[in-house]
Amino acid sequence: MSNDILARFNLYWPGFALDVNLTLPGRGVTALFGHSGSGKTTLLRCVAGLERAPGGYLAVGGDVWQDGGHFLPTYRRPLGYVFQEASLFPHLSARGNLEYGMKRVRGAMGRAALEHAVDLLGIGALLDRRPDQLSGGERQRVAIARALVLQPRLLLMDEPLAALDLKRKQEILPYLERLHDELDIPVLYVTHSPDEVAHLADHLVLMENGSARAAGPLGELMTRLDLPLARDEAAESIIETVVAGHDDNYKLSYLDFRGGRFAVGRLQRKIGKPARVRIHARDVSIALKEHRDSSIVNIIAARVQELVPLNDWQMVVRLGLGPEATVPLLARITRRSADMLELTPGKNVYAQVKSVVLAD
Amino acid sequence: MGFSDADLAAIWLTLRLAGVTTVLLLIIGTPIAWWLARTRSFWKGPIGAVVALPLVLPPTVLGFYLLLAMGPNGAIGQFTQWLGIGTLPFTFWGLVVASVFYSMPFVVQPIQNAVESLGERPLEAAATLRAGPWDTFFSVVLPLARPGFFTAAILGFAHTVGEFGVVLMIGGNIPGVTRVVSVQIYDHVEALEYAEAHWLAASMVIFSFLVLLALYTLNPAARRK
């Protein structure tokens, strides 16, 4: 039995059309990413049943929620939804908001789920306050907990950080990362922030003008040269690694991945723990030899897979790291360098990575 | 001096009429207000205008048409005769029916405004928290729109207490059956019984003042600000 989410929606409004046919993975965080007006929120609302797309089809983990005349109303769908504005009920305390859904879900796990959600979002001290006595960030944490208490089979989040200022965002992001690590249900996460994608997403759906331009694993989509992400000024690669060891002499940590090993500043993280890193395309240069006479620490064998011009003086290169060249990494170099190094697809080179940043 | 038995009967009748009308209006007016607040239908304008008509029509016009409708040849009259309860004019229930129409906008509009200002979001949030439509109405809409319902009930009650023209057209002037306070005052004045008229009239002034005072001070919305 597949856990996947099958979603097919066609919706026509004046000046807007949604037209998607997607198979989304049944676990992990899938970011619906795109500009405002790209249809990502509408798609999420269709999945929730808050928007009705006649003739659509939706199945979640084998259960059909919408098909032809069959349309499961929102309140019968085992989902959790987090709105952009927390949308807590103002007449109930934080606890009352959490219990609102709990009381309406069948199954005896209620109390334990509530305590777990309170714990996960760190809102134990806020429970007796009313929504108007909470900060924006606190409200959003209560709203996320309120959705989790339902023990949903699918969690939908509509730009949960977009209404918050930078400081509040930084306050919530760690909690979302914890969710990412601890939840074993699929999450659909609408966002227009590349930063949130880098921190939270495992999969990506790139929305454009009401349709899905591309969908797939995050690391792959961010480095596809035919998509705008790789051509962006802030283009970057995401690589999943595992903490392999620490060097307490030089205060470094070693992160292993299928293509080799990165050295980064000492992490407070146990050996064997996963670590996600992001590497800006502009921080990667390419050499034909493995220079041992360089201050750059991270030099990794790579193979050129594809290169395209970015503008009249720069190229963006997709490298494959590792013996089978399976881990993609973007490099941005000048066109002159590309010519001088005679870079062509298939050529074996060395990627010199100037900066590796932890992203979780 | 004080209230005569006839005065007391009129007061009791008025309170009973206003109470029954208010309860009926809350039951009938809420779905109408709900629909008006949320529909995007073409009919929103026409239905809204019909509900608001009693605000601008002279009560005698409304009373006249209701009298025809409830009479033996009118639509309502045919229906009530078919039910075997005769015709409604000159009965207490005739007054109730007339009052429901007459006070409708005073109940519908505050509820409609409250529901409109609530917006879509709390209803959507409730749906994502597994609350069905009725559940949502009682657990979210009613508590959040309570000031609107409170205002609607008070205005509906007070407006029914103050009606005169419609009562006269529909109910006439039957002691204990259709003679409400406003009609009783009119009778006193006609009979030049100014002292008796004063007692009732002053009571109405005080009553109305107290009702509005309650509306402006007890209303949760007004208090919160």
pLDDT higher than 60, residue B29: yes
Report which of B187, B179, B181 is spatially closest to residue B200, judged by C-alpha positions: B181
Of A85, A88, A101, the CB nearest to B130: A101
Which structural domain range is residue A199 located in?
Answer: 5-231
Which structural domain range is residue B85 located in?
Answer: 5-220
Residues A272, A142, single domain; the answer is no
Note the pLDDT of residue A113. 85
Residues A227, A302, single domain; the answer is no
Residues A45, A156, single domain; the answer is yes
Residues A323, A292, single domain; the answer is yes
Residues A150, A204, single domain; the answer is yes
Q: Residue A204: give its domain's CATH number.
A: 3.40.50.300
Contact B122 A101 (CB under 8 A): no
Q: Residue B13: give its domain's CATH number.
A: 1.10.3720.10
In a domain, B29, yes or no: yes
Lowest mean pLDDT among A172-176, A304-308, A327-331, B143-147: A172-176
Which pLDDT tens digit goes with each residue over B38-95? 888 999 999 999 999 999 999 999 999 999 999 999 999 999 999 988 888 889 999 9
Mean pLDDT of chain A: 91
Q: pLDDT above 90 covers what percent of chain B?
A: 68
Note the pLDDT of residue A168. 82
The verdict on A105 touching B (C-beta cutoff 8 Å) is yes
The verdict on B221 touching A (C-beta cutoff 8 Å) is no
pLDDT higher than 80, residue B219: no
Distance of residue A91 Cα from the nearest chain B Cα, in angstroms: 7
- B contact test, residue of A83, A87, A156 with most B CBs within 10 A: A87
pLDDT higher than 60, residue B223: no
pLDDT-derived band at B225 (thresholds 50, 70, 90) equals: very low
The verdict on B225 touching A (C-beta cutoff 8 Å) is no
In a domain, B196, yes or no: yes
- Tell me the ipTM for this assembly: 0.85
Residues A174, A265, single domain; the answer is no
Q: Report the C-alpha gap between B194 and B211 in whole angstroms.
A: 25
Residues A154, A108, single domain; the answer is yes
- SS3 state at B200: helix
Mean pLDDT of A69-87: 94
Report which of B156, B143, B85, B107 is spatially closest to residue A130, judged by C-alpha positions: B143
pLDDT-derived band at B221 (thresholds 50, 70, 90) equals: low
Contact A105 B121 (CB under 8 A): no
Report which of A227, A244, A343 is spatially closest to residue A284, judged by C-alpha positions: A343
Residues A83, A183, single domain; the answer is yes
In a domain, B225, yes or no: no
Of A89, A105, A147, the CB nearest to B122: A89
Contact A100 B131 (CB under 8 A): yes
Point out the domain boundary residue: A163, A198, A231. Answer: A231
Mean pLDDT of A85-89: 93
Those residues with Cβ within 8 angstroms of residue A348's Cβ, 6 or more apart along the chain or in another chain: A301, A302, A303, A304
The verdict on A65 touching B (C-beta cutoff 8 Å) is no
Point out the domain boundary residue: A188, A213, A231. Answer: A231
pLDDT-derived band at A108 (thresholds 50, 70, 90) equals: low
pLDDT higher than 90, residue B174: no
pLDDT higher than 70, residue A1: no
User: For residue B204, what are its two tokens?
Assistant: 């109405």
Residue B145 · residue B107 · CB < 8 Å:
no
Q: Report the C-alpha gap between B46 and B84 in whole angstroms.
A: 33
pLDDT-derived band at A120 (thresholds 50, 70, 90) equals: confident
Whether pTM > 0.90 for this model: the answer is: no
Mean pLDDT of B190-199: 91
pLDDT higher than 70, residue A107: no
Task: Say how many domains are in chain B.
Answer: 1
Note the pLDDT of residue B1. 61
In a domain, B21, yes or no: yes
**Inter-chain CB pairs, A–B, below 8 Å:** 57
Point out the domain boundary residue: A231, A250, A268. Answer: A231
Note the pLDDT of residue B97. 93
- SS3 state at A12: strand
pLDDT-derived band at A327 (thresholds 50, 70, 90) equals: very high
The verdict on B127 touching A (C-beta cutoff 8 Å) is yes
Note the pLDDT of residue A296. 86
- B contact test, residue of A104, A142, A144, A158 with most B CBs within 10 A: A104
pLDDT higher than 60, residue A334: yes
Residues A214, A241, single domain; the answer is no
In sign, the C-alpha dihedral spanning A87, A89, A90, A92 is: negative
Contact A104 B130 (CB under 8 A): yes
Which pLDDT tens digit goes with each residue over A288-313? 998 888 888 899 999 999 999 999 99
Contact A50 B135 (CB under 8 A): no
User: For residue A282, what are its two tokens?
Assistant: 């502009």
Residues A119, A248, single domain; the answer is no
pLDDT higher than 60, residue A42: yes
Distances (CA, A) of A13 to A18, A53, A86, B98: 9, 11, 27, 44
Q: Report the C-alpha gap between A276 and A267 in whole angstroms.
A: 12
Note the pLDDT of residue A106. 74
pLDDT higher than 60, residue A18: yes
pLDDT higher than 90, residue A129: yes
Those residues with Cβ within 8 angstroms of residue A34's Cβ, 6 or more apart along the chain or in another chain: A40, A192, A206, A207, A208
Q: Residue A290: give its domain's CATH number.
A: 2.40.50.100
What value, to the nearest 5°, has the Cα angle with vertex A80 and ends A79 and A85? Answer: 145
The verdict on A16 touching B (C-beta cutoff 8 Å) is no
Task: Say how many domains are in chain A.
Answer: 2
In a domain, B118, yes or no: yes
Residues A39, A26, single domain; the answer is yes
Residues A241, A311, single domain; the answer is yes
Which pLDDT tens digit goes with each residue over A167-218? 888 888 888 888 888 888 899 999 998 889 988 999 999 999 999 999 999 9
